[in-house]
Amino acid sequence: MKNYLDLLELILESGETREDRTGVGTISSFGHQLKFDLRDGFPAVTTKKLAWKGVVSELLWFIEGSDDERRLAEIRYGDIRENLTDIKKFPTIWTGNADSQGKELGYKNTEMVKKLGPIYGVQWRNWDGCDQVKQLLQSLKHNPNSRRHILSAWNVSHIEKMALPPCHLLAQFYVSQNNELDCHMYQRSADMFLGVPFNIASYSLLMHIFSSILSLKPRYFIHSFGDAHIYLNSVEQVKEQVLRKPKERPILKMPKIDSIEDLIDCNIDDFILEGYDPHPPIRAEMAV
């Protein structure tokens, strides 16, 4: 993960200070790329602790196709929503968006239901009636040499209806002649400190899930950025992080998954980072 730290340093040293939607302000740099070889271990950041359960629960929520933040809470905490009504005790990474942008858009927002509009999971599983995930898996299986293995969340006609327009908006997949799976994801807007380690882990996990279904081996995750930024309220935290030495990557242990429907029977504790020994957490407030 040294390449990730190097990019953080580059942004700190040569990025430009810009105003942004949240009002916090950023140090920003445009147009970068990172590449991770999943054969060398799972690319979980080790210079601070990764919120792994948050990564797993959000990805399972996306794949399920939900638009309800409280459903994410059920997956994250392993309980029914009737027992999760104390929002301060049982928040998710989408609570702020639901209570801010989602509420402003007029979506239902109670302690039991917090709608977000047609965000990632909805687009993945029901883009105007199209189940992109199932179509993608069929294409990867039956036409592996195709150049159309695309998963997109940027549905232009729905952008204004989303509590948060997609930041990681498009991924292309590639099957090698050695039966290995690659993924190249483009992210238009990247919170390099809080969000990007989460995004790297999420798409790497998605690659492992797809590889299990397709009897492939995950190989390269390529991560391309448009606006790569560090929020001004996390600059000191980033300076602390880049001084830390990366540790050995963990190994992902997960059940054999034969179809996307198998994920219904999975919970977050089925996905384990074996040997994960990160540096202590470095906390910062998420800009909403």
Average pLDDT, rounded, for the chain:
96
pLDDT score for 288: 66
Checking if the pLDDT of 135 tops 80, the result is: yes
In tens, the pLDDT along 194-235 reads: 999 999 999 999 999 999 999 999 999 999 999 999 999 999
Are the beta carbons of 114 and 108 closer than 8 angstroms? yes
Helices 69-77 and 52-64, packing angle to 10 deg: 130
Is 130 designated active site?
no
- Give the Cα separation of 136 and 204 in Å (integer): 16
In tens, the pLDDT along 164-182 reads: 999 999 999 999 999 999 9
In tens, the pLDDT along 22-56 reads: 899 999 999 999 999 999 999 999 999 999 999 99
Long-range contacts of 106-112 (CB under 8 A, 24+ apart): 107/163, 111/85, 111/86, 111/87, 112/70, 112/81, 112/82, 112/85
- Name the percent of the chain lying above pLDDT 90: 94
Are the beta carbons of 76 and 57 closer than 8 angstroms? yes
Checking if the pLDDT of 287 tops 80, the result is: no
Q: What angle do CA 47, 279, 284 make, to 5 degrees?
A: 70
In tens, the pLDDT along 88-108 reads: 999 999 999 999 999 999 999
Residue found under tokens 């340093």: 9
The pLDDT of 57-67, averaged and rounded, is 98
Checking if the pLDDT of 111 tops 80, the result is: yes
Helix (H) or strand (E) holding 63: helix 52-64
> Helix, strand or coil for residue 193?
coil
> Helix, strand or coil for residue 251?
strand
The pLDDT of 232-248, averaged and rounded, is 96
Tell me which of 130, 167, 183, 266 is the catalytic residue. 167
Band of the pLDDT at 21, cuts 50, 70, 90? confident
- Give the Cα separation of 135 and 169 in Å (integer): 17
Beta strands in 121-250 (DSSP E): 150-152, 168-175, 180-191, 217-231
CA dihedral of residues 91, 96, 100, 103 (deg, nearest 10): -30
Q: Which is the CATH superfamily of the domain at 2-51+131-274?
A: Thymidylate synthase/dCMP hydroxymethylase domain (3.30.572.10)
The pLDDT of 188-199, averaged and rounded, is 96
67: nearest Cα among 101, 35, 42: 101
Checking if the pLDDT of 150 tops 80, the result is: yes
Band of the pLDDT at 285, cuts 50, 70, 90? confident
pLDDT score for 192: 97
The Cβ of residue 39 has, within 10 Å, a number of other Cβ atoms equal to 10
Checking if the pLDDT of 59 tops 90, the result is: yes
Helix (H) or strand (E) holding 220: strand 217-231
> Tokens in use for 130?
């199209």
Helix (H) or strand (E) holding 151: strand 150-152
Predicted TM-score of the model (pTM): 0.96
Residue spans per domain, the chain: 2-51+131-274
